[in-house]
Amino acid sequence: MNEITVFLSWDDESSVWIAESRELPGLILESGSFDALVEQVKIAIPDLLDLNKIEHTQTKIHFKAERLAVVA
């Protein structure tokens, strides 16, 4: 079973969540909705594994999210 870590970060300037993974070249997605981005990642990963010629049957995805907020 493959395991991939996907980092989700909030871009305050663009008001979108961004998904990236060091382990899977080509994975960079964005969405204004956290939940929608998680679904996009789940759909994109099998195709990217195929494009990168990485064998897979099942893939475990670890989502790690970070969002910075500044308050007065």
Question: CATH no. for residue 61?
Answer: 3.30.2390.10
Q: What is the mean pLDDT of residues 9-19?
A: 96
Chain position carrying tokens 């956290």 = 34
Instruction: Please indicate, yes or no, if residue 72 is contained in any of the structural domains.
Output: no
Domain hosting 23: range is 2-66
**Considering the chain, what percentage of its residues have pLDDT values greater than 90?**
79
Q: What is the pLDDT of residue 67?
A: 93
Q: What is the pLDDT of residue 70?
A: 87
Q: Binning pLDDT at 50, 70 and 90, where does residue 28 land?
A: very high
The span from the first CA to the last CA of the chain, in angstroms, equals 46
- pLDDT (tens digit per residue) in 40-72: 999 999 999 999 888 888 999 999 999 988 898
Q: What is the pLDDT of residue 50?
A: 92
Instruction: Please indicate, yes or no, if residue 37 is contained in any of the structural domains.
Output: yes
Taking the C-alpha atoms of residue 40 and residue 37, their distance in angstroms, rounded to an integer, is 5
Whose CA is closest to 10, among 69, 71, 72?
69
Q: What's the total number of domains in the chain?
A: 1
